[in-house]
Amino acid sequence: MKSLTVQDIGKRYLLTSATRSKRTKATLDLKIAKVPLPWGMKVAPRELWALRNVSFEVEPGTILGVIGPNGAGKSTLLKILARVVRPTEGRVVGHGRVVSLIELGAGFNVDLSARENIFMNAAMHGIPRQEVVDKFDEILDFAEIHDFVDSPLKHYSSGMYLRLAFSVAINMSPHILLADEILAVGDMAFQERCLQRVAEEGKRGLTVLFVSHDMSAITRICQQAMWLKSGKLMQFGDSQSVVAAYTRDAMESLAGGPDTDAAQNARLLEIVSVRLVSPDDGRAIGAVPVDQDLLVRIRLQIRRPMRVRCLVDLRVKNTYVFRSPQPEFHAYEERGYYDVVARVPANLLAETSYNLDVVVYVEKSSGRTYLVNAIDVLSFTAYGAPYESEYRKGVVMPRVEWSVQAVEPESAEPGPSAAAGERAEEDPAADSVPTIEAPARAER
């Protein structure tokens, strides 16, 4: 039995014209000009299909990644599955308890304590009270709010609030979990725990629909992925191939269309995946301690012999931190898959979130040619500054070597203070300190 079946669903919104003054006539947009309409006449609302003809099935225990650009319909899909909005057409069949993380904390009352909100939220999902009692300590442990369980939520920090919301949702024993950008939850350490917990629950049979713009996280924890574009399902399959197709399409759009040289060259060389890996065992990770080396693994598929050079760009939002290229072009004599690893030394990064771009050049007889540019292909966080991070500022925080030693005062050349002392000896008045007296108060 399928955990989730979606059949030809579509969601239509009607877009009305912008609010107008009562004294302003409506206009008809003819592209080349706007024609005023007679008084009282209105323009019919325009249709926008956020989703159209989307169908797929999900087996129990599957973690399904949902990817696509902004406005593709990802959040609309999750809202339909969570029964927040009704589809305009089609049907959805789900089996078991559905818990959504579309808007963390929805349904919480900030005037109530965490204890009261936990039981109230469980009751809203139809969960028996005894089941909540049995999992109460586990919820508090994951949210790390034991000392504040009886405090009203309005006194919580945003991080505490989000941790509680995620912990309540993941511990409700859902059969289907809908998660929209859970990487935005809490600090970097808690984000990593969220991903690990989702992966663990998937192994126990939980079906997860995971929306994210982090392609590394998608390929890391999702067995399958679906790619939405302009409300349509472009591809459904294993996460590696779907992410590769989505990245390739994004590159063709950036390059100006599928007929450009960049798109044609992309058929000869493909960035299969870009991952942050552990220096100890090579497993994919989403965060790295600042006192450990950072390893970026770029997996390439070479489809013919060529000379290739990779570059890595590191950014904090729109600020470039650095670009690091391979020392020289590497000759690939045979077709196949290759791993190119860039190692960033420890004690360089700051405690913040980074975005990573990968640029690949191929060497041709005419010179270097732009080949593939994987924009924003990886996001990760660095954490755990070893000492007094509040005094270390910037997008990088290199460990600078400091030293202190006692020295003898210089005697060869008299400094300014010594010369001033000699002048003071010559002029006795220099030793006198002027006195400023307050004016005497006049007697009445």
Residue range 141-168: average pLDDT?
86
Distance in angstroms (rounded) separating the CA atoms of residues 344 and 282: 15
What is the average pLDDT value for the chain, to the nearest integer? 79
What kind and span of H or E run contains 396? Answer: none
d(CA 48, CA 76): 12
State the pLDDT at residue 36. 67
Give CA separation, 71 vs 76, 224, 269, in Å. Answer: 9, 21, 29
Which DSSP letter does residue 374 get? E
Q: Is 265 helix (H, G, I), strand (E, B) or coil?
A: helix
The per-residue pLDDT for range 217-239, each reduced to its tens digit, is: 787 788 899 999 999 999 999 98
Predicted pLDDT of residue 261? 52
Higher-confidence residue of 49 and 188: namely: 49
Rounded average pLDDT over 410-426 = 52
CA distance 335 to 332: 7
pLDDT (tens digit, 9 = 90+) per residue, 245-256? 887 777 666 544
β-partners of residue 298 are: 274, 340
Of 166, 164, 234, the closest CA to residue 194 belongs to: 166
Task: Measure the CA angle with vertex 335, ends 310 and 362; round to 5°.
Answer: 30
Q: Which candidate, 74, 153, 140, 170, places its Cα nearest to that of 112?
A: 153
- Closest-CA residue to 270 (of 146, 372, 196, 357): 372
Work out whether strand 353-364 and strand 367-383 pair parallel, antiparallel, or are unpaired.
Answer: antiparallel
- Pick the closest to residue 132 from 166, 175, 172 (CA basis): 172
Q: What pLDDT does 21 receive?
A: 44
- Is 0.75 surpassed by the pTM of this model? no
Q: Tell me the domains of the chain and their CATH numbers.
A: 4-16+43-244 (3.40.50.300), 259-391 (2.70.50.60)
Contact at 8 Å (CB) between 185 and 286? no
Helix (H) or strand (E) holding 134: helix 129-143
Cβ-contact 231, 50 below 8 angstroms: yes
